[in-house]
Structure 1
Amino acid sequence: MHATPQQALAAYEKALASYDWEQIAPLIHPDACFLFSTGSHHGKEAIGVAMRSVFSLISDERYRISALHWGHIGADIACASYRFDWQGVIDGELASGAGRGSCTLLRDEVHGWRLLSEHLGPLPE
């Protein structure tokens, strides 16, 4: 359980680097909605399927969040925007990309802060 949204988002970034859904899942709210280039994924189970699919395509991935801006941090809800960068190997070739993201985190007394939504998209032209 994370005491602050900043701790939860840092834990999420670290868990993504593990490529282990079991480390990521506790940081995701059951009713979460994630919007990726692959589509919209509603609910923790659907998000897990989408993430495991990406994990099977990209090996040795490094994912990093930067330029983090907290738009709001309240007692039970927080939202942030950021840049993300990734690098990995796809079909034996080095690949990389970048974009911008936003997320909403929700806090409850039992689980602490968890991601309720994430939206990843391209950088502006």
Structure 2
Amino acid sequence: MKPQQVLKSYELALASQDWRLVEPLMHKNVCVTFSNGTFKGIEEVRTVFEENFSYIKDEQYSISKAHWAHISETEAVCLYCFSWKGIIEGEHCSGSGRGTTVLINENGCWQIITEHLGPNES
């Protein structure tokens, strides 16, 4: 799989709200930064993702405007816009922002090593 395919698979996996589909796309040393903190290692990341999945019901997640800033044989960097909508405590909610994802290729397998999500530009 190429980095672009991994990011598309990641988008679909997040939309499924099923960690079993997300985990294979993550490196064991993954680090993610969300508005509520930075989470390091696959176990911390799994915990925060599963918490988000349980909190947001019927989530729809999408990535758009992907810009691949760098792709080599061993690493790739993508900047993009993301949006989500779902139900939180019975209320329809939505959000959007900008993301940066870094992927690395180890032993012929591309995986996400870091992700940083933040607000839209003001």
Q: Give the TM-score normalised by the residue count of structure 2.
A: 0.97
The one-letter amino acid paired with 2:63 is I
- Where 1:82 maps in the other structure, the secondary structure is strand
C-alpha distance in structure 2 between counterparts of 1:28 and 1:68, whole Å = 19
Q: 2:99 aligns with which of 85, 98, 101?
A: 101
| Matched pairs, number | 122
> Partner letter of residue 56 of structure 1?
S
Partner of 2:115: 118
CA distance in 1, matches of 2:20, 2:62: 20
- SS of the residue corresponding to residue 121 of structure 2 reads coil
Write the letter of the residue equivalent to 2:33: L
> Deviation digits for residues 53-108 of structure 1, max 9, x if unmatched?
11111001000000100000000100000000000000111000100000100011
Q: TM-score, normalised by structure 1?
A: 0.95
Partner SS state of residue 50, structure 2: helix
- How far apart, in 1, do the equivalents of 2:4 and 2:97 lie? 20
Looking at structure 2, the residues matched to 20 and 61 of structure 1 have their Cα atoms a distance apart, in angstroms, of 11
Query: What percentage of aligned pairs have identical amino acids?
Result: 43
Q: Secondary structure at the match of 1:123?
A: coil
**Gapped regions of structure 1 (runs ≥ 5):** none
Return structure 1 stretches of 4+ with deviation > 4 angstroms. none
Please give the alpha-carbon distance, in whole angstroms, between the structure 2 residues aligned to 1:77 and 1:19: 26
Distance 1:19 1:64 in 2: 12
Which of 13, 16, 19 aligns to 1:18? It is 16
SS in 2 for 1:6: helix
Q: Which residue of 1 aligns with 2:36?
A: 38
Unaligned runs of 5+ in 2: none
Deviation at 1:38, TM superposition (A): 1.3
For 1:117, give the aligned amino acid: T
